[in-house]
Chain A
Amino acid sequence: MSKIPYEVYTEDVEALTVLSPDGEIINKAKAPDLTDDQLKELMYRMVFTRTWDDRAVNLGRQGRLGFYAPVSGQEATMVGSEFALDKEDFVCPGYRDMPQLVWHGLPLYQAFLYSRGHQHGGQIPEGVNVLMPQIIIGAQVLHAMGIAMGFKLKQQKHVAITYTGDGGSSEGDFYEALNYAGVFNLPVIFFVQNNGYAITTPFAKQTAAKSIAHKAVAAGIRGVKVDGMDVFAVISAVREAAERARNGEGATLIEAVTYRFRPHSLSDDTSKYRTKEEEGQWSEKDPIARLAKYLEKKGLWTEEDTARVKDEAKAKVNEQIKKAEQTEKMTIPGLIDSMFETTPKHLEAQKADFQK
């Protein structure tokens, strides 16, 4: 029997922090082993993602992108968690998780096509192990569970990772997935990005639980909480969860406490539910600035590097949005033919109506 008293479930748990806001390693035991090249690549991806987000918001305002959920502030959780995995591992994203897909191999112009509402955006290239962004909050959590079941049945040592937000942890599907993963001991990582708000609803109105990590208890799986503005803590937790999963030790729920610097979506107004003070406090925890301090001290990064990456990212975004805009237009017959492997007769007849 555990020696932990029952009261523990009413108290918060401490989030793992590895890198302090000053850029110092404060938890050597949990610091991920990363080469200099890996550290630079990590920084590159985070700066790139921030720049892409800035550009995407502008492209959205210009009407060159459609549906878009901003990501600024969440670079450590998004880029870091994907960075900790292998290409064979499977990513089941929510609608905000486009960066994980792109860094896992989805071409950026397809991410833009998804935003614009073009079918080719979901035509994931062969060998890129991701699903399309999921709009129904919680559904992707079940898919990751099923995909993990597939890895287990095929005796492949890969893991599935899925992402949802703090609001998503209130869904029935979220709990069902965790519970199945526990019963079947599945190689899956449930990664919750707790940015404190589900659109306008604060975390305290989602649950009386002090942390989302607590919810692992109900499923009998491992739950951990990490500082989501600390990319090292994220990588450390995901690597550990993945290693356990590959060794047959089952699923982990990771709660990463983070913040979105931007609104929920392009049509959301944060001033109605957040204070400037709160936003200011979180911007001091900016995951990119934090990693930059660490890298600068190690002589691996300079402000010029940041400027260079921003320029590269802007050029790449410009090129890829043009490619998206030049993609062949969809047709109704094309949509009809994508419904089934073999188009049934009644749909052939409807197709003919659109070919006149």
Chain B
Amino acid sequence: MAQMNMKEAIRDAMRVEMKRDPNVLIFGEDVGHAGGVFRVTEGLQKEFGEQRVIDTPLAESAIGGMAVGLGVQGFRPIAEIQFVGFIFEALDQILVQAARMRYRSGGRYHSPIVFRTPFGGGVKAAELHTDSLEGLIAQTPGIKLVIPSNPYDAKGLLISAIRDNDPVFFMEHLNLYHAFRDEVPEGEYTVELGKANVVREGSDVTILAYGLMVHTAVKAADELEKNGVKAEVIDLRTLVPLDIDTILASVKKTNRVIIVQEAQKSAGIAAEVIAQINEHAILHLEAPVLRVTAPDTVYPFAQIEDQWLPTPARIIEGVNKVLEF
């Protein structure tokens, strides 16, 4: 075991897999010599060489297209898009080309690609660096979507993602890269894709969250406990495929649910989770499932993002609504 922050755990996952499998390649803007703008790939080019950790010209669509071509050639690309807002440049390659490859070739080809990208608010970044765009990815068939909330999960999920023979979109929250250290096993281990994690057990209400919002939800749950409310907090971890079984087990226990997402309210992950709870467990609900989210505006200017992002207070407000329904 070693103490690692999430950035180091992500780097360790890539190192472990690159050692294990010579087909694993890393490429993107500034990932090689510089080790990435957040130093997530630091030292990897030195260790594995310029043939396996490759700095690319500044063109996101070409990063995506190179990944698709290398996937066809039997490589396992880890392609980095420097900031989440730049994925728009590469969406054809990610969501059309990589995500459809297995289907449109009837299984003849596939895309064993991990697209890594940082995202997430609270760091006063420039425009289009922090948007929560997971909803775009989640509604596209053929690609899996993973958002870890801690170092242990990040390493295990990324190793699973690299080994997966279908494309995985792996989003790394900027506010969690250095937030805290945790015990992370040395060497290889996996956290299964498609499995949620009950991070705090409770019996009165279920709070579903992912990414940074897991920590915001735990803070809210700590406060709620002082008032005698036992909240169960579930980290979804993988958004596609969604672990509906773990969600439903909790719903059936607590009968009250809220879902917290950093993204804007409309048509996001929360809407999908609520729809599935309605489909599968409506008779177990004592109250409607409510959403605590950002408002439906463009991602805010840095000066006002702390008010825009969901806070523990707003989560508590949401929980009180479903408790008092």
- Bound complex: CA A344 to CA B194 (Å): 8
Bound-state CA distance A151–B96 (Å) is 24
**A180 to chain B: which residues have CB within 8 Å?**
56-57, 59, 62, 66
In the complex, what distance in Å separates the CA atom of A345 from the CA atom of B192? Answer: 14
A351 to chain B, nearest CB (A): 13
- A344 to chain B: which residues have CB within 8 Å? 194, 241
CB-CB under 8 A from A144, the residues of chain B are: 69
Residue of B61, B106, B241 near A345 (CB, 8 A) is B241
Question: CA–CA, A196 to B97, complex, Å?
Answer: 28
Q: A120-B106, A132-B105 are in contact. Are A149 and B166 (CB under 8 A)?
A: no
Hey, what's the 0/1 contact readout for B151-177 against A, CB within 8 Å counting as 1?
A: 000000000000011100000000000
Whether the pair B103, A335 counts as a contact (CB closer than 8 A) is yes
Interface centre among B73, B97, B164, B194 (most CB of A within 10 A): B73
With A136-B96, A149-B70, A180-B56 in contact, is A341–B110 under 8 Å at CB?
yes
Contacts A139-B65, A345-B241; is A147 near B73 (CB within 8 Å)? yes
Residue interface mask B15-52, A partner, CB < 8 A = 1: 00000000001000000000000000000000000010
State A179–B242 Cα separation when bound (angstroms): 39
B244 within 8 A of A: yes
Q: Please measure, in the bound complex, the distance between the C-alpha atom of A148 and the C-alpha atom of B66, giving whole angstroms.
A: 9
**Interface magnitude class on chain A:** 35 or more
- A-side contacts of B64, CB under 8 Å: 142
- Check A346 against B244 for contact (C-beta < 8 Å): yes
A143 engages B107 (CB within 8 Å) = no
The closest CB in chain B to the CB of A147 belongs to B69
Contact residue range for chain B? 35 or more
B65–A142 contact, CB under 8 A? yes
Contact of A146 among B57, B66, B109 (CB under 8 A): B66
A132 neighbours in B (Cβ, 8 Å):
104-105
Interface residues of A in 143-195 (CB under 8 A from B): 143-151, 153-154, 160, 172-173, 176-177, 179-180, 183
Cα-based distance from A177 to B64 in the complex (angstroms): 11
In the complex, chain A residues whose CB is within 8 Å of the CB of B71: 146
In the bound complex, residues from chain A placing their C-beta under 8 Å from that of B93 are 139, 142
Cβ of A6 under 8 Å from chain B: no
A124 in the interface (beta carbon within 8 A): yes
Q: Does A331 touch B at the CB level, under 8 Å?
A: no
Could you tell me the distance in whole angstroms from the C-beta of B125 to the nearest C-beta in chain A? 25
Contact B97 A143 (CB under 8 A): yes
In this assembly, does B226 line the interface, its C-beta being within 8 Å of a C-beta of chain A?
Answer: no
Q: Does B72 contact A (CB under 8 A)?
A: yes
Chain B residues within 8 Å of A124, by CB? 105, 108-109
The minimal Cβ–Cβ distance linking A216 to chain B, given in whole angstroms, is: 16
- Does the CB pair B142–A340 fall under 8 Å? yes
> CB-CB < 8 A to B56: which residues of A?
180, 183
Chain A hits for B164, CB < 8 A? 341
Q: Specify the chain A residue showing the minimal Cβ separation from B193.
A: A344
Q: Please, which residue of chain A has its CB at the minimum distance from the CB of B106?
A: A123
Contact yes or no, A341 B66, CB < 8 A: no
Q: Shortest beta-carbon distance, B167 to chain A, in Å?
A: 10
* Residue B306 is within 8 A (CB to CB) of chain A in the complex: no
Decide: A148 near B69, CB < 8 A? Known: A132-B105, A153-B75, A341-B102: yes
Residues of A near B51 (CB, < 8 A) are 153
Interface flags, B67-87, vs A, CB<8A=1, else 0: 111111111000000000000
Confirm or deny: B317 has a beta carbon within 8 angstroms of a beta carbon on chain A: no
Contact B72 A147 (CB under 8 A): yes
Let me know if B92 is at the binding interface, CB within 8 A.
yes
Complex interface: chain B residues within 8 A of A173 (CB)? 61-62, 65, 92
Q: Indicate with 1 or 0, residue by residue over A77-112, a CB within 8 angstroms of chain B CB atoms.
A: 000000000000000000000000000000000000
Q: Is the CB of B108 within 8 A of A123?
A: yes
Chain A, 321-356, contact with B by CB distance < 8 Å: what is the 0/1 string? 000000000000001001111001111000000000
Q: Which residue of chain A lies nearest to B245 when distances are taken between CB atoms in the complex?
A: A345
Q: How far is the CB of A28 from chain B (nearest CB, A)?
A: 38
Asked if B141 lies at the interface with its beta carbon under 8 angstroms from chain A, I say yes
Q: Mark A11-32, 1 if CB is under 8 A from B, else 0.
A: 0000000000000000000000
Q: Which residues of B contact A (CB under 8 A)?
A: 25, 51, 56-57, 59, 61-62, 64-75, 92-93, 96-97, 102-110, 141-142, 164-166, 194, 241-242, 244-245
Give 9 nearest A-B pairs by CB, closest first: A146-B69, A142-B65, A150-B73, A123-B106, A344-B241, A176-B62, A146-B66, A147-B69, A176-B59
27 contacts between A and B (CB under 8 A): A119-B104, A119-B106, A120-B106, A122-B108, A123-B105, A123-B108, A132-B105, A142-B61, A143-B72, A146-B70, A149-B66, A149-B70, A150-B72, A150-B75, A153-B25, A160-B69, A176-B61, A176-B62, A177-B62, A339-B102, A339-B141, A339-B142, A340-B166, A341-B164, A344-B241, A345-B241, A346-B244
